[in-house]
Structure 1
Amino acid sequence: MADLEQPRLKVGFIPIIDCAPVVLAEELGAFERQGLEVEIRREVSWANVRDKLALGVLDASHILAPLPLAITLGVDSVTVPLVNVMTLEVNGNALTLSQALWREMEEAAPDLVASGHAPLVARALAAVVRKRAAAGAPQVVLASVFPYSPQNYMVRLWLSSGGLDPDRDVRLTVVPPPHTVAHLSGGVVDGYCVGEPWNQRSVVLGIGRVALTGPDIWKGMPEKVLGTTEAWAGKNPETLKALIKALLEASQWLDEPGNRAEAARLLASPRYLNTPAEVISRTLDLPDFHVFHRNHANFPWRSHADWFLKQMVRWGQASPSIDIEATSDRVYRTDLFRAAAREMGVACPEVDRLPPGGHGEPLVPAFEPMNHEFPASLRLGD
C-alpha cells in the first residue's frame, strides 16, 4: 500500500439511495482496507455540499454529476475548480406528481394519462396548464433538487416533450431531497423529481404518483459522482486513489443482486436514509433501475460531461461560448479513475468519449433561443 498523504478524510453524502457506495464502503470496511480513516457526513442539501467542498470542510463528497462542471465554470454562486473522479450510480431518479394534480390530468386528458407513455403524459399535463391559465388559477409548481442537476434537465426534457416551455408554462423550484415529501404533502409543490427512495416514500404514503422514471428520458443517465477540489486532488493523489478503490469495492458489492436486501437494511439506518428498509427495497430491487458498477457505470465519461454542458447552454445557464470539450476534460478525470481501476483489476473503456447519442442520451440541437414550440429533435418519442 502506497503512503497516503492524508489518511483521515471527511466525505459528504446526501440521503438518497445513490449514496450507497459511500455508506457501504464504510459498513463493509473498504475504507479501512485501503488505509483510510473516513468520517462520512450526512448533509442537508446540495448547496451545503457545494459550499463545504469549496471551503475545505469536506475533502470529497457524493455530488450531482453536473455540479462540478457548473462550479468550475463559475456559473453557480461559487467558483472553485472541482473534479469528478468516478460515477457512483446511473439511473435511480423518478418524477412524482401529487394525487390532486394527477386527478386534474385524468379529467383534462384521460386517454393521454392512461397511455403511460412519457410524452403523452406530458401532453396531459399541458392540458392542465392551459386549463389553469384560462381560469386564472396558479401555475403548476414542480421541484428538482438543484438547478445544475440531472433531475432539472430530466424535468425540462419531459415538459418540452409535451409542448411546454419549462421557463414560462410552469414554475420550477428547488427543494432538497429529504424535504420533497413534506413539500408535496403540504401542497407547496405539485410534483418533484428526485432520486429514490423519496418517490417511493410518497407512493407508500398515498400522496403521490410516479409519472415517469429517469430511464424514460435516458436509460443510463449518470446521477451522482465523487467530487473533490482540483487542488485537493493534486495534493493527495495516493489518498484519492485509495478512496476511489474503496468506493469501487463497495460499488461491485452493491451490484450483486444477493446483496440488495442487506444494502436496504443498512441504508435504512437513521444515520443514513432514515427510511424503512421495505421502502428502499421497493426501488432497489427493480431490475436495472439502480446500477452501481456494471457496464462501466463508474467510468467518468467525458461525453457525459459534454451532454450536461450542452444542457446548461440550452437552458440559458451557461454561455454558448464556453469550451465544452476543454471543460469536460478538466473536470471529468478519466486518468485518475483509470489509475485506481487498474490497481483493482477493473477494466476501463479505451476512449474517454462516445459520439453524441452513443450512450443512448437524447440529442441536443444546435443552440438557439428557446421557442415555445420545442424542437422535434428533443422530443421523447412519438
Structure 2
Amino acid sequence: MKTDLKIAFLPLTDAAVLIAAHERGFAEEEGLNLDLIRTTSWATLRDRLVYGQVHAAQMLAPLAVAVTLGLSQQPAALAAPCKMGVNGKMVVMASDFARALEPDVAARLNDPLGTAHDFAAAIGLWRRKPVIGVVHRFSSHALMLRYWLASAGIDPDRDVILRVLPPSLTVEAMRAGEIDGFIAGEPWGSAAVEAGLAEVVAIGERIWRRGVEKVLAFRESWLADNPEPVDRLLRALARSALWCDDPANHDALSDLLSDPHYVDQPAELIGRALSGRIVARAGEAPVANPDFMLFAREATPFPWRSQALWIYSQLVRWNMVEHDEATAAKAGAVFRPDIYRRALADSDVAMPGASMKVEGAVELPLAVGSRRGELTLGPDRFFDGRVFDPERIADYLAGFAPTR
C-alpha cells in the first residue's frame, strides 16, 4: 500500500529533484505517491507547511531557520533533513543600468567584487534609488544580495529599495517598471534577459561557490512521528538528484519542467541553468559556468549544520535577530544530518563523516572523510575571501562593519 505525501513547491528550476522523483518513478519505487502542490509565493508555501496543509515543502533555507526562530510568524519548529540543490540564482538589472558596469559580461560575472563596486557607482547615475526585487526577506537571495552589495559600501537598507515579490512575477514587474532588477532562482533571470528587459550582473555561484539554496522542510513534530515515510522520501530524492545532475538527462529534465503544471517556461530557458551556459545579455554567446546549479555532486543534498549557522550569522548581521548561544543552537538544529544519514545508511550514497565544516575554506577539490564511498568536495569560497567558522560566530561577525 502506497503512502500519500503532499509536498508544496514553487515554479523554479531547482524544484527539479521533487518533480523528477514523481515523474520518473523514483518515489513510486519507494512506495510513495507524491501530490506536488504548485504554489505562487514563499509566504503561502510557508503557511501551507506550518498549518498542516502539506506534509513537506521545497523551502528557502533561511525561511526554515526564520520560521523556527519566530522571525517570520509565530515560532514553528521546522526540520530540514536534506538540501534540494545549491546555487542556481542570479542578479539581473535593467539594461540601461547595466551599461554603467563592465561591458564584457564574462569578465563581469567572474569578478563579483569589482562588479559590486561598479554597481555602487551606477547607483549614483540611475534615475532613482534602484528598486531590486527579492523573493522573500528570509531568502538566500536577499542575504547574498545584501552581502554582495555591502562589500562595495552599499547600504542595502538605505541606498537601494528591496521589494519582496514572488519569483514568477519578477519579469512582469520589470516590464511594468515597478522594479529595476531582481535576484531570483532560475529560470526567471533568463526570462528577463530573453525578453530584452535585463542583463545578468552577478550569479550566486560566484558570490558563494557552493551557496545553500532550497531545503526539503517538514514540521519537526511530523518528521519525528513519521520516520519511515521520511526515509523513503529521502531515498527517492537521492536517486532523483543523481538523475537530475547527469548531463545526459538535461534535455529530458528541461522538457519535464517546462510543463504548465510545473515551471511553465520554455525548455530552452530552463536548460540554460542546468547546462551552466548562461546568456547574460540578449543575443550574445552564453557564458560557461558548469557549477551554476548542483543537485547531487559533492554530497550536495547533505544538510551541513554549519550552513544553517551561516544563515543565522547573516540574520544577526542585518539586525533580524539578537545573537546568543541558545538561539544559534536552535538555528543550527534546523538542518538534520542525522536524519539524512539514517535514511541513506544502507545506500551507496557517499556522505560526510562530519556535520559541520568551516565554510569558504575549500579553494580546490578536496577529498574528505566519508562514511561510505569516496567523497570530494568542490571549491566553496566566498567572493570576498572570508571564511565562516561555525564555532566562532561572534569573531566572524566582528569582521564586518556595524550595521544600523
Tell me the TM-score normalised to structure 2 length: 0.85
**Matched residues in 1 for 2:125 and 2:49: separation?**
45
1:84 equivalent in alignment to 2:80: yes
1:225 aligns with 2:225: no
- Give secondary structure in 2 for the equivalent of 1:298: coil
1:336 is the counterpart of 2:339: yes
Work out whether residues 305 and 333 of structure 2, in 8 Å CA contact, stay in contact via their aligned partners in 1: no
- Alignment match of 2:314 (pick from 311, 316, 325): 311
C-alpha separation in 1, matches of 2:190 and 2:103: 25
1:67-146 map, 5 Å: 67-103=63-99, 105=100, 116=108, 117-131=111-125, 138-146=128-136
For the residues of structure 1 that align with 2:347 and 2:328, how far apart are their CA atoms? 28
Match of 1:12? 8
Distance 1:370 1:51, change over 3 A: farther
Instruction: Give the AA of the match of 2:93.
Output: L
Matched-pair contact (CA < 8 Å) for 1:112–1:120:
no
Identity %: 35
CA deviations on 1:274-306 (whole Å, 9 max, x unpaired) are: 001111112211122111001010100001011
Partner of 1:21: 17
Q: Note if contact 2:69-2:327 (Cα within 8 Å) is conserved in structure 1.
A: no
Rounded to whole Å, the distance in 2 between the matches of 1:324 and 1:260 is: 41
Structure 2: gaps (5+ residues): 277-289, 362-379, 389-395
Match of 2:392 in 1: none
Does the 8 Å CA contact 1:87/1:224 hold for their aligned counterparts? yes
The letter for the 2-side match of 1:310 is S
| 2:255 equivalent in structure 1 | 265
Do residues 53 (structure 1) and 49 (structure 2) align? yes
**In structure 1, how many angstroms separate the alpha carbons of the residues matched to 2:129 and 2:105?**
19
After superposition, the Cα gap between the structure-2 partners of 1:306 and 1:59, relative to the gap in structure 1 and judged at 3 Å, is same
Shift in Å, 1:201: 0.7
CA deviation profile, 1:171-204 (whole Å, cap 9, x unmatched): 1111111011111111111110001110111111
Q: Which residue of 2 is the match for residue 378 of structure 1?
A: none
Cα 1:32/1:98, change in 2 over 3 Å: same
Amino acid at match of 1:243: L
The code of the aligned residue for 1:29 comes to G
Bigger relative contact order, structure 1 or 2, given CA contacts below 8 A and separation 6+?
A: 1
Aligned match for 1:353, one of 356, 365, 372:
356
Q: How much has 1:309 moved relative to structure 2?
A: 0.3
Gaps of 5+ in 1: 375-382
Give the deviation of 1:99 after TM superposition: 1.2
| CA RMSD after TM alignment | 2.1
Q: What's the TM-score, normalizing by structure 1?
A: 0.89
Deviates more, 1:52-61 or 1:152-161: 152-161
CA contact 1:306–1:325 (8 Å) conserved in 2 = yes
Q: State how 1:146-295 maps to structure 2 within 5 Å.
A: 146-286=136-276, 287-295=290-298
Deviations 1:339-375 (A, max 9, x none): 1121332121000000243343444632499547x9x
CA distance in 1, matches of 2:35, 2:71: 30
- Deviation, 1:329, is 4.2
Structure 1 or 2: larger helix share?
A: 1
Q: Which whole-Å CA distance do the structure 2 matches of 1:219 and 1:161 have between them?
A: 16
1:63 corresponds to? 59
Helix, strand or coil for the counterpart of 2:84?
Answer: strand
The 1-side partners of 2:359 and 2:23 are apart by 38
- Aligned counterpart for 1:366 among listed residues 392, 397, 402: 397
